[in-house]
Structure 1
C-alpha cells in the first residue's frame, strides 16, 4: 500500500484485495439509480489505446516499493509486488472490472457456476482449452486439487497465511473431460469465486517443501502473458519477459522491469528519465504538473549580473569574486531547473481512487475509548466532509466520505450505512461525553511524570512541525492545552476558531472579578476547556507514522485534533518510525487513535470478517484479535458475517453484509474517512496503464505508442474482457 494511508501488513485481507475479483451474475451488470451501490467515484485513468496503435516491443520500467521476500502470495511475507507479479504471470479465474465488480477471466475460464446445492454445493469450472503452463502441460484438475490440499489447513507442514474458503472444500476432482474441474464443498460458501485466484501449478503446491521454499525466489512454471525472467535482489529488481507459450493476445511489451525505488526518490528518478511508471505522492505530482505550465516572462534569476544571450555579463564588470561565484551558482541552478523541467514534460499524472479507504481507528480495548459513548462522541465531533475535502479536493478528485467499512461506491455490497452512527453534531457529542461522566472544566489531579518523559504543555517546547502545537523531544505534542503561552498580554486566553488562528477576547472593562451582566459572552477558552473524570483529563494518544510520505496523514490528524478539542477532548500526537508503526503500536494496541487504510474486496464476507471479528480469549490467556486492531467487535456482527458467507443467494448475502456494516458503524470502533487517492506518473506515450482504480491490470495490452500515433480509439480498461456472467 502507499504511504499515504499506511496499511497494515495484514496478508489475508491485503492479498485478497490485490488478486482478481469474483464472478458477477448478470443482474449486477446494470445498476439502476435505486441501487445503493451506486457508481465508482472515479474512473480508471490509464490512457486507453487500441492495440494496433502500440509498438511491438519495448521495456516498461516500473517503480515498486520492494522486491518481495516471496513470490508465493499465500505466504505471510507476501506484499503488493508479490501480487503484481502474480497478476502478470499466473492464472486468475476471476478479476475486477472498472466498477469494482468481479468478472470471469475468459483467458482461463469458459464458464464457472454452481451446478448443485443439495445435498452439497458443487461448482463446475470449464477451462479454456488453450490454457497451458509454460512447460506445455495443460492447466487442469490436478493443479486445483494440489492448491486445495495445500491451503485447506489440514496439513500444518504447509506454511500458509490464509485458508479461508479452501477449508470448506470437501473434494476436487476431474469432470467429464480434462477441461472440467468439479469442486464439492462440505459447507455452503458464498465466496467460492474468490478461490484459485491466483492458481499456482501443482509443481509449487504439491509438497510442503516446494510450497514453503520453492516459490519464494523463483517461479519456474507460469501461465500468463509474462513469465519471471530474473529476480535480482542485489539491484532490487524483478524482470518479467514475454511468455512464448501464452495463448491469448500477445504481450505488446518485451519486458517489464519492477524496480525498488523509495517514494521520496521517485520524482528525481523520473526527472533523470530512468522510470516510465511510478506511483507518487501529491508533492511529486505537483512537481510534474507545474512543468506543463508555461514559465512567466522574466525569471527571478535574471538580474543585473545575469548573462546575456551570448554568455557575456550585461553588468558587473567590477563585480567581486563572491558575486561572480553567486552568479555562476544561480546560472547552474537555472540550467539544472531547465533540464529537469524539460525531462518532466515527458510525463503526466494519471489519477484515480484506489480500492482502499483511510479510516480513523479507535482502540476500544482500554482507557476512555473502552466506553462506547466516548467512541461515539469522537465520531460525532468529526466533520468528515471537511476531512475528505482537505485530502481529495486539491488533487481534483471527488471528495465524498466513505459510507461503508466493507465496500466502496460502485461495488455490489456498498451502501452508505453511516447513518447508524450519525453526522457531525457537537451538542450530541458533548451529551454523550457528559453521560459517560466526563465533566467540562472539572478538577484534574497532578499527574506524575513518567521517567524519561516531559510533562505535556511544558514551557519552552518547540512547535510541532506541521501543527504549530507544543512538541516534546520524543515527537509528541498536546492539542488542546491552554497554558500561559497561549494567553494574551492581558492574561485572557485566546481560543481557536475553525482556521486555527488565535483571537483575543475583547476588553469588557469593569472592576477585576466583577460579575458580568446577563447575556455577556463567556470568557474565551471556557467552551473548549478540557473534560475530566475522577481527576483525570480526557486525553487520547494519537499515533502517526513519521515517514516522508505521511504528510497527508499528519494534516488529517491535526484537523481531527482541532475538531475534538472543540468538544473538550485533548489529543497527544505521537509520531513514530514507519517500520514500527504497525508492529509496535497498532497491532500491539499501543494507541488510542490512529490513521491507517484497509483495502476493500469483492468478498467482504470472507476477507473483512477477521478485521471486525469480536476478540476472544486464546488458550494461553491472551486476547485473540485476528486483524481487529481496534479490539471492538460484537457477537451480532460475527453472526451476520457467518450467515452472509453461507448464503448462496447473492442478494440476500449482500443484504446481510450491509446489516453487518450498520452494526460496525454503531459500535464506533473505526470511522471510514476517504477513498485513497491513486497518483501515477507515466510517460505520455505509455498507454493502457496508469491509475487502474478498481480494475485489474491487463498486462498484455500495455505498451508505448507508435511514432505519430495518438491514444485514440482505445478500449476502456475492462473492454478487453468478456461481459460479466458465467
Structure 2
C-alpha cells in the first residue's frame, strides 16, 4: 500500500562492505549485512516454538488495507505467496517457491508479462495457485470498484487483462500502459476467496485466513493473550519448516528486556539502551553490586546513583529504599538471565530525515530551505547516532534508495555540503539580515520569536518548548516536556518504535520508528501503512551525550538573530515527547545549534506521540521535524506520492498525498512518471537518480542517516535476527541442535 512513515532511531554494528558491486556502480554495497546467526538446515533442530515480539496484535491480516501494520506483513510473508522478494542488496528476485520464471514477453502493442508458476504450488485447501487468484486480486485492487476498501492500487490500475496461458501453470498479464515496477505486484498474493468479493476483502481477512500457501498457516489469533499463532502448513511443498510454531506476541518496547530475560519471547527488536544492557550482562564477570554494603546498609543515595547509571529513570529511583533495593535485585536477576541472549545488529532499509515544511512561513522560500541544508554537517549528525553504536557514520545521499540498491547514488552535491558562508549568503539574498528592527509586541499578542517557557507544563497541557543555545541560569538549557517534567537526567525509553505504524493518513510506528515495517523485506516499502514511532536509543546526562569522543563543541552563536519585515527568523522544531525519543531529541539539539551559527533560531517543541503525526506532520503544523521513510525496491511507484507536487482540490483544499513537506515540482513529477513507464531498467534507474537530484535541490527534506536495527535473540536461535534488506526465510528459522555450533561470519568476528 502506501509507503510507510517511520519516526526513528538508533543501533547497529560496524562491518566491512559486502562484495558484489563494481566500483563503477554508484549503487555500491549495503553498509551492513544481515545478522541472523546463519547455519545450514541440517544443524537446525526439528520442532520448537519461536516466540517473536511484535508491537501489537494486527488489526487486520489483509496487507492491502489502511490499518495493516508491520505484524500484518510479517504474517503475510510466512503464510502467503510472494512472486518476488528482496535479496541482501534490497533488490527484487523471483521467489522459486512460487515461480519458475516471470518476464516481459511483449512490449508492442502492449506490455505483457508471463508468469510460469511452480507446478507444486497449491493453496492449503488443495487448489492450485493460478490465474483465477491473479484476476481476483487485480479486480479488487484496480480502483474501479469503490466497494473494496483498499489502501493502494498503484500498478494494478495499469492492468488491462489477465488470462490463462498455454497451461494452468501460466498466467498472462497485459498492461494498458507500460509499468516498470511490475515486479512489485502480486506480492503477497491472496486467494480468490479473500479477493473475490468486497465483503470478503473488507472483513473476511481481518481476523482469520482460512486459505494460505506458505510454510506456515494462521492457526489462531488470541487477543486475550495478545498472540498470533502460526503453525506448520501440512500442504507446504517446499523444504519443511523447522519450527512447529511461530507465536507473534505483543510486548511493549519498554518491557522487552524483561520478556527476553524471563523467556516469554525469544526474538525482539529492542532499543539502544536494552542492547547496551544485554551486552553488559554478557560482559559482566564480577558480582559486585550496591546491595553488598556492610550489613546491607548501602545508603539510598548510592543506590540511586547506581540505578541511574544502569538505566533506571528518574521516576524509578524516586521511591523508598526498600522498594529501590527490590527493583535493583530484580534488575540483577534479569541481568543473569540475559546472559542467554545476544544482540544482533544490522541497518534497516530506512533513513531518518530533517523535514522542512515549505507551505508557509520562512521555509516557503527555497533560499531559506537551502540555507538550512547548507548549515548542516550531516556527517557529524550521522556520527552522533551511529558511531556510539559501532556503525559506519555515512550520511545518506539519496531520498529514493539506500546504499546497495540499484537506484542508489549520492546526489547530495545538488545542494552542496556544509558551508556557513553560503548559507548566510542565501539568507541575505532572501532578505534576512542581522540586527534588523523587530516590531514591538502588542499586549496579548504572542511573540514573533521563540517563546521561552519558565513554568512547568501540567499533564495534558500545552506542548513544552525550549530554545537551544539560550540559558537562564548558566547551568544548561531548559527542556520542558508536555508531561511537566524537566529533561536531562536518565530517561526511560520504550521504543516508540516502534514503532507506531501508520498508513500515511495519520494512523498510529518502526514509527521510524524502527520501520519497519518498512524494512520487513516484503518488497515494496510500504505496503501496509506502518508508521513506527521508533526507539532512538536512550542516553542519560547532558544533551549531545551521544557525540563521539573528539567531537568539537559548537562555537558560540553569533549575536542576534536574523530579521525581516520586523520579525526574527525563528522556526518551530516539533518532536515527539514519549519514550524512545531521546536520540531524536539529541539530533534536534545538534541541528538547532548548527542553525544558530547562521542566524536561524529554532524552538524545539515537544508534543505527545499520539498527536505528533496526525496533528503536526500530516496537518502541516511544524517548520522542522524529524521522521523517516523506508527505502523501496520500487521507488518510481512507492516514492512518488512522498515527493509529488501538492495539487489544489475543487473544494479549495490541497491534496499533498504523502508529501508532508509540501515541497514539489512539476519536473520531479515528470521524472517519476517517465521512470514508471520505461521498461529499460538502466534508463529507469537514471531517471530515478535525476529525480532525486532535483528533490535535493528543492530542499524539502534532508536525508541524514540510515536507521540501525537492533534485535535481542536467544543465543541458540539461528537463521533469525536483524534481517537488513533481505526477506526472512521462515522455514529455515529454528533452534540449534544440541552440540552444534554457529561459526562466526568474517564480518561478525
Fold match by TM threshold 0.5? yes
Q: Residue 284 of structure 1: CA displacement? A: 0.7
Aligned to 1:576: 607
Aligned to 2:335: 341
Aligned to 2:351: 357
* Deviation digits for residues 103-160 of structure 1 (CA, Å, limit 9, x no counterpart): 1100000000000001110000000000000000000000001101111111111111
Aligned to 2:237: 247
Identify unmatched segments of 5+ residues in structure 1. 1-10, 17-28, 308-325, 465-471, 488-497, 502-523, 718-726
* CA contact 1:175–1:181 (8 Å) conserved in 2: yes
Distance in structure 1 (CA, Å) of the matches to 2:326 and 2:557:
56
Q: Does 1:148 align with 2:148?
A: no
Q: TM-score of the superposition, structure 1-length normalised?
A: 0.84
Aligned to 2:91: 101
Distance in structure 2 (CA, Å) of the matches to 1:174 and 1:459:
68
**Which of 672, 677, 680 pairs up with 1:646?**
677
Residues 99-498 of structure 1 aligned to structure 2 (within 5 Å): 99-296=89-286, 298-306=288-296, 335-448=329-442, 456=450, 458=452, 460-461=454-455, 474-481=463-470
Identify unmatched segments of 5+ residues in structure 2. 7-18, 298-319, 477-541, 546-554
Aligned to 1:85: 75
Distance in structure 2 (CA, Å) of the matches to 1:205 and 1:334:
53
Q: Residue 262 of structure 1: CA displacement? A: 1.1
* Deviation digits for residues 625-678 of structure 1 (CA, Å, limit 9, x no counterpart): 110000000000000000001000000000000000000000000000011010
**Which of 30, 52, 58 pairs up with 2:42?**
52
CA spacing shift, 1:619–1:473, aligned 2, 3 Å: closer
* CA contact 2:448–2:567 (8 Å) conserved in 1: no
Q: Does 1:601 align with 2:591?
A: no
Describe the SS at the equivalent of 2:292.
Answer: coil
* CA contact 2:449–2:570 (8 Å) conserved in 1: no
Describe the SS at the equivalent of 2:352.
Answer: strand
**Which of 59, 63, 66 pairs up with 1:73?**
63
CA spacing shift, 1:330–1:186, aligned 2, 3 Å: closer
* Deviation digits for residues 454-500 of structure 1 (CA, Å, limit 9, x no counterpart): 99555845799xxxxxxx9631112244779799xxxxxxxxxx998
Q: TM-score of the superposition, structure 2-length normalised?
A: 0.81
**Which of 680, 696, 701 pairs up with 1:665?**
696
Distance in structure 1 (CA, Å) of the matches to 2:669 and 2:96:
35
CA spacing shift, 1:713–1:272, aligned 2, 3 Å: closer
Larger Rg: 1
* CA contact 2:544–2:590 (8 Å) conserved in 1: no
Describe the SS at the equivalent of 2:248.
Answer: strand
Q: Does 1:565 align with 2:555?
A: no
* Deviation digits for residues 524-558 of structure 1 (CA, Å, limit 9, x no counterpart): 96724211111111111111111101111111111
Q: Residue 295 of structure 1: CA displacement? A: 3.6
* Deviation digits for residues 340-368 of structure 1 (CA, Å, limit 9, x no counterpart): 12100000000100011110000000000
Describe the SS at the equivalent of 1:428.
Answer: helix
* Deviation digits for residues 314-335 of structure 1 (CA, Å, limit 9, x no counterpart): xxxxxxxxxxxx9987875665
Distance in structure 1 (CA, Å) of the matches to 2:139 and 2:456:
59
Q: Residue 299 of structure 1: CA displacement? A: 4.2
Describe the SS at the equivalent of 2:50.
Answer: strand
* CA contact 1:402–1:673 (8 Å) conserved in 2: yes
Name whichever of 529-538 and 437-446 sits farther off: 437-446
* CA contact 1:351–1:679 (8 Å) conserved in 2: yes
Aligned to 1:492: none
Aligned to 2:564: 533
* CA contact 1:189–1:647 (8 Å) conserved in 2: yes
